[in-house]
Amino acid sequence: MARSDLNLLVVLDVLLREQSVARAAKRLKLSPSAMSRALARLRIATGDPLLVQAGRMLVPSPRALELRDRVARLVEEATEVLRPSARLELTKLTRTFTLRTSEGFVENFGPALITRVRREAPGVQLRFLAKADKESGLLRDGTVDLETGVIDDETWPELRSQSLFEDHLVGAVRVGHPLARGAVTAEGYAACEHVGVSRRSLERGPIDEALRALGLERRIAAVVGGFATAIVVARRSDLLATVPRRHCGVLLDGVHTFELPIVLPRMKVSMLWHPRLDADAAHRWLRECVRSSIDALPVRRER
């Protein structure tokens, strides 16, 4: 049986990243004609056109999209095998890690994480990006190194993940608010004016479904893009915010919180990363830093 030319994997990886014969040739220091010949060989080997002309551009075929992450992972693993093993020296590590998180995560867990990173690896910089949507493409293309969030049907299946903590929603109102006195009923909760939280400006969700099952409906007076903002609004108005307790943690200082009088599923918050970083020693250290920083923060109790 004829052996495949494994060098073509490297060529395919670059072609799928660049989606341009000229740019791929420049990156691999080959002539455009040599790159065109390599693409022709790849098409024969895979039985697929891989990159198809669309106007002046090349676009990946469905088969190419299917192969892209797998090929990138194979090339990365092969490169790691042929690389001398080096012991991670944190004091000499110079690197920027980009983390993508929902509003409230950095405010709550960031100080402990930054403190540990500065102490152990002073040459490392942490860059935090706001999580404006559920799209995980920034992990795939390397723009983001680590992301936190709730895994659901929109999460890409190839991503690696590790559970960080379980969480649940609580109500938050200003001190002195009518709901801060005595037990809160479902009727009292629904009757209050609410500040909703949605990154996509959606007003309705699981809370409204739970209330509707009881024949109740709430009025959402305002919708904001993050939990921290919702808590600030609740602290300085008569609106009620519903936010995840542990995720928001210290942000809830100075407000009254209470358990919701409706049944909602608990949430499991995880950290996610691309498989190509799975074996990276510095990235493994970063993941441990994130986990230990969260574990070190005491769980806030309702009052």
Q: How many Å apart are CA 53 and CA 62, to the nearest integer?
A: 14
- The predicted structure's pLDDT at residue 174: 97
- The strand pairing partners of 160, in sequence order, are 273
Confirm if 144 and 99 have CB atoms less than 8 A apart.
Answer: yes
**Does the domain made of 169-265 have the CATH classification 3.40.190.10?**
yes
Confirm if 272 and 151 have CB atoms less than 8 A apart.
Answer: yes
Interval 164-185 mean pLDDT:
95
- The predicted structure's pLDDT at residue 33: 92
Nearest 10 degrees: Cα torsion 188, 194, 200, 201: 120
Choose among 255, 300, 303, 273: nearest CA to 165. Answer: 300
* Amino acid (one-letter) located at 270: S
Q: How many Å apart are CA 288 and CA 294, to the nearest integer?
A: 10
Interval 259-275 mean pLDDT:
93
* Position 168 pLDDT exceeds 70: yes
Q: What are phi and psi of 202, to 5 degrees?
A: -90, 135
pLDDT class for 93, splitting at 50, 70, 90? very high
Measured from the Cβ of residue 116, the count of other Cβ atoms closer than 10 Å reads 16
Confirm if 110 and 251 have CB atoms less than 8 A apart.
Answer: no
- The predicted structure's pLDDT at residue 1: 38
pTM confidence score: 0.68
Over residues 189-221, the pLDDT tens digits come to 999 999 999 876 566 789 999 999 999 999 999
Interval 222-240 mean pLDDT:
95
Please determine whether the domains at 7-81 and 92-167+268-295 fall in the same fold group of CATH: no
pLDDT class for 76, splitting at 50, 70, 90? confident
**Looking at beta carbons, which pairs linking 25-32 to residues 24 or more positions away fall under 8 Å?**
none
Any idea which architecture 7-81 has in CATH? Orthogonal Bundle (1.10)
User: E-assigned strands of 8-145?
Assistant: 51-54, 57-60, 95-101, 124-130
Interval 219-224 mean pLDDT:
94
Which positions ≥6 away from 165 have C-beta within 8 Å? Answer: 246, 268, 269, 294
- The predicted structure's pLDDT at residue 279: 85
Confirm if 67 and 16 have CB atoms less than 8 A apart.
Answer: yes
- The predicted structure's pLDDT at residue 167: 94
Interval 173-185 mean pLDDT:
95
* Position 2 pLDDT exceeds 60: no
* Position 299 pLDDT exceeds 70: no
- Collapse the DSSP code of 255 into the 3-class scheme (helix H, G, I; strand E, B; otherwise coil) and give the result: strand
pLDDT class for 74, splitting at 50, 70, 90? confident
What does the domain layout of the chain look like in residue ranges? 7-81, 92-167+268-295, 169-265
Report how far Cα 119 is from the mean position of its chain's Cα atoms: 25
Give the torsion sign (CA, 232, 107, 125, 158).
negative
Average pLDDT, the chain: 89
- The predicted structure's pLDDT at residue 85: 57
Q: Please identify which residue in the block is written with the tokens 């830093």.
A: 289
- The predicted structure's pLDDT at residue 202: 61
Interval 270-283 mean pLDDT:
92
Confirm if 88 and 282 have CB atoms less than 8 A apart.
Answer: yes
* Position 303 pLDDT exceeds 70: no
For residues 141 and 46, which has the higher predicted lDDT (pLDDT)? 46
Topology of domain 92-167+268-295, per CATH?
A: D-Maltodextrin-Binding Protein; domain 2 (3.40.190)
Helix, strand, coil percent content, the chain, rounded in steps of 5: 45, 25, 35
